[in-house]
Amino acid sequence: MGMEADSSSFPSSSSSSSTAQRKYDVFLSFRGEDTRNNFMDHLFNALKGKGIHTFRDDEELKKGKAIGPELLEAIKESKFAVIILSKDYASSTWCLDELAHIIFCKEEKGMTVLPVFHYVDPSDVRKQRKTFEQPFVEYEKKENKERVEKWRVALRQVGNLAGWHLKDTRPESQDIQEIVGCISLNLKYDAFPYITKDLVGIYSPVVELESCLAVGSNDVRFIGIWAMGGMGKTTLARVVYHMVSKEFEARGFIEDVRKNFENYGCVPLQQKIIDDILKDKDLKIEEEYDGVLKIKSRLSRKKILLVLDDVDKSKQLKMLSGEHDWFGPGTRIIITARDKHVLEAHGVDTIYEVKGLNDENALQLFCSKAFRKKHVLDDYIELSNHFLKYAGGLPLALEVLGSFLFGKSSVEWKIVLERLKEFPEEVILQKKDHVVEKLDILGLYPVLGLEELIDKSLLKIMYDDMVWMHDLLEEMGRNLVFQECLDDPGKRSRLWVYNDIDKVLEKNKGT
């Protein structure tokens, strides 16, 4: 079901490939008798439909012939190789020669190899068992030993690669869609190396968000990107914006809507939309309702891509992208926000929630900033784990902490860690019912209050009704209370530091 390994590793495997112009995007390797009239044919047509230049060698030419130089050249001149490993794949010496050359091109030329395990177990391919075993009994008798060993090595290597494992539990069309999507997206990555080269863990969110966009559909869609601050909403929107922008007649990326709306009002933002999309500097907006009329009248027949970044109020959306019928068929409006309710109130078609980085990607990002390397230095392993736990997968926190720690000694790291731990750790995971009970006692309308905090990305309800709040937000709340009275802890609404509590109780200075 889907990729056998974390798909976030996929771009890096192709990023090493040569930037030289390739003759083909994809080379298809398959056993015709198994897949020619079903999976392979459907995959080939799906790739062709996406404009992906695919080489499919004619099975009829294979009969009684050794693999020719033209075919070897086609493999060499392809960026990707999709290998459909069906039950009788190993019965064809032609297929095995193809595979051996593909693995050679992977190692020597950076080709990206994508195996499809066509109703066979990857471990059977890897260990040459079942239908991958019997052919080798005959090969050992007839073929050159060195040639047979190359085939075995190639099967072992391809069996270890991340790929798609076709099973009866889901339609083949889903696997085909994912394969074509991965290749299409990776080809777009080549066009924007500067944008994506230093981004960690971006691949999977980009794939998911691009799927939400459904660019081929002719309807008008509003897509919200929702998460707390520092999660990478703007970065994700910008990457996808650049990758799909060529599919639209015109485009615009409106940054910092919240800040600019507060500082300068609505009209400059409306004017920027008109300027970016129509490229008409003479069309001036007089006031905000004039802006509404001009956006609606001038853009209603255009297929546009518009990003409204960091929106926090319904009025902003009402004045900048009011209704679906403001825009032409095929238009996509991407809106990033911290408040889910703002997106829901505007009637967006899809809300995509940006998640924190997984452990592997969090470590990679932290190391890139703290050490300017891809791995943790030996003396810093335990300390790094503490900082990773503190950052909780939040990209901005990982970048800030890593950059701050760069070049510092392990002693300095320990001092920074102690400073962060000035507030003793509490259990931030509590049962929802327990939290509701506490808030209810305080008369704080907990049911509405919790929903509001969740919508604003300040809380999450996890598995088993556990309530989660990010450590950094917890610390921000404590700092706000600390600012109530810097010099006299007794005048603050809450206490948590042992020394402060001790002083207040000892001198009876509490409020």
pLDDT in tens, 219-257: 999 999 998 877 889 989 998 998 888 889 999 999 999
In the sheet where 466-468 sits, what is the strand order?
A: 430-431, 466-468, 460-461
CA distances from 366 to 172, 324, 394, 406 (A): 38, 41, 10, 10
Position 430 confidence tier, pLDDT thresholds 50, 70, 90: very low
- Between vectors from CA 24 to CA 21 and to CA 29, what angle results, nearest 5°? 140
Inside any domain, residue 194: no
Query: Is 97 a residue whose pLDDT tops 90?
Result: yes
Q: Do both 40 and 179 map to the same domain?
A: yes
**404 lies in which domain range?**
359-420
Q: What is the mean pLDDT of the chain?
A: 83
pLDDT, mean of residues 15-31: 72
Other beta carbons within 10 Å of 425: 10
Q: Do both 345 and 284 map to the same domain?
A: yes
Measured in whole angstroms, how far is the alpha carbon of residue 179 from the centre of its chain?
16
Position 13 confidence tier, pLDDT thresholds 50, 70, 90: very low
Inside any domain, residue 192: no
Q: Do both 486 and 407 map to the same domain?
A: no
Q: Do both 23 and 118 map to the same domain?
A: yes
Distant-in-sequence, close-in-space partners of 253: CB < 8 Å, separation ≥ 6: 237, 238, 241, 276, 306, 307, 309
Instruction: Work out the burial of residue 21: count CB atoms within 10 Å of its CB; fewer than 13 is exposed, 13-18 middle, 19 or more buried.
Output: exposed
Residue whose structure tokens are 């990033």 = 336
| H or E segment and range at residue 25 | strand 24-29
Inside any domain, residue 266: yes
Inside any domain, residue 254: yes
| Closest by CA position to 397, among listed 490, 475, 480, 510 | 475
| Active-site residue list | 98
End-to-end CA, the chain? 60
Query: Is 462 a residue whose pLDDT tops 60?
Result: no
What confidence score (pLDDT) does residue 54 get? 94
Q: Do both 475 and 363 map to the same domain?
A: no
Other beta carbons within 10 Å of 164: 23
Other beta carbons within 10 Å of 358: 14
In the sheet where 112-118 sits, what is the strand order?
A: 54-56, 24-29, 78-85, 112-118, 164-166
Q: What is the DSSP string of 231-291?
A: S-HHHHHHHHHHHHGGGSSEEEEE--HHHHHHHH-SHHHHHHHHHHHH--TT----SHHHH
* Beta-bridge partner residues of 353: 226
What confidence score (pLDDT) does residue 184 get? 80
pLDDT, mean of residues 156-184: 88
- Between vectors from CA 284 to CA 278 and to CA 285, what angle results, nearest 5°? 105
Q: Where are the alpha helices (DSSP H) in 22-92?
A: 32-35, 39-49, 69-76
Position 469 confidence tier, pLDDT thresholds 50, 70, 90: low
- Between vectors from CA 125 to CA 121 and to CA 130, what angle results, nearest 5°? 75
Amino acid at 28: L
Instruction: Work out the burial of residue 433: count CB atoms within 10 Å of its CB; fewer than 13 is exposed, 13-18 middle, 19 or more buried.
Output: exposed
What confidence score (pLDDT) does residue 174 get? 86
What confidence score (pLDDT) does residue 390 get? 81
Position 278 confidence tier, pLDDT thresholds 50, 70, 90: very high
Inside any domain, residue 215: yes
pLDDT, mean of residues 206-212: 87
Q: Do both 173 and 31 map to the same domain?
A: yes
Q: Do both 332 and 370 map to the same domain?
A: no
Q: Which of 135-144, 306-315, 452-461 has the lowest mean pLDDT?
A: 452-461
Q: Do both 28 and 175 map to the same domain?
A: yes
Residue 233 in contact with residue 227, Cβ under 8 Å?
yes
Inside any domain, residue 198: no
What confidence score (pLDDT) does residue 96 get? 95
Inside any domain, residue 404: yes
pTM over 0.85: no
Amino acid at 298: R
Q: Do both 144 and 268 map to the same domain?
A: no
- Of residues 24 and 20, the one with the higher pLDDT is 24
Q: Do both 48 and 154 map to the same domain?
A: yes
What confidence score (pLDDT) does residue 441 get? 58
State how far the Cα of 181 lies from the Cα of 363, in Å rounded to an integer: 27
CATH number for the domain that contains residue 94: 3.40.50.10140
Q: What are phi and psi of 494, to 5 degrees?
A: -145, 150
Distant-in-sequence, close-in-space partners of 501: CB < 8 Å, separation ≥ 6: 489, 495
pLDDT, mean of residues 204-225: 89
Inside any domain, residue 335: yes
Query: Is 481 a residue whose pLDDT tops 70?
Result: yes
What confidence score (pLDDT) does residue 7 get? 34
Q: Do both 317 and 218 map to the same domain?
A: yes
Q: What is the DSSP string of 151-186?
A: HHHHHHHHHTS--EEE-TTS-HHHHHHHHHHHHHHH
* Domain edge (last residue) among 333, 353, 373: 353
Query: Is 82 a residue whose pLDDT tops 80?
Result: yes
Distant-in-sequence, close-in-space partners of 51: CB < 8 Å, separation ≥ 6: none
Domain total in the chain = 4
Distant-in-sequence, close-in-space partners of 307: CB < 8 Å, separation ≥ 6: 237, 238, 241, 252, 253, 254, 333, 334, 335, 336
Residue 131 in contact with residue 124, Cβ under 8 Å?
yes
Q: What are phi and psi of 190, to 5 degrees?
A: -60, -30
* Domain edge (last residue) among 402, 420, 438: 420
pLDDT, mean of residues 405-414: 90
Query: Is 185 a residue whose pLDDT tops 80?
Result: no
Q: Do both 391 and 488 map to the same domain?
A: no
- Of residues 207 and 368, the one with the higher pLDDT is 368
Query: Is 343 a residue whose pLDDT tops 70?
Result: yes
pLDDT, mean of residues 445-458: 61
* Domain edge (last residue) among 353, 379, 397: 353
Query: Is 486 a residue whose pLDDT tops 80?
Result: no
By three-state DSSP, how is residue 43 classified?
Answer: helix
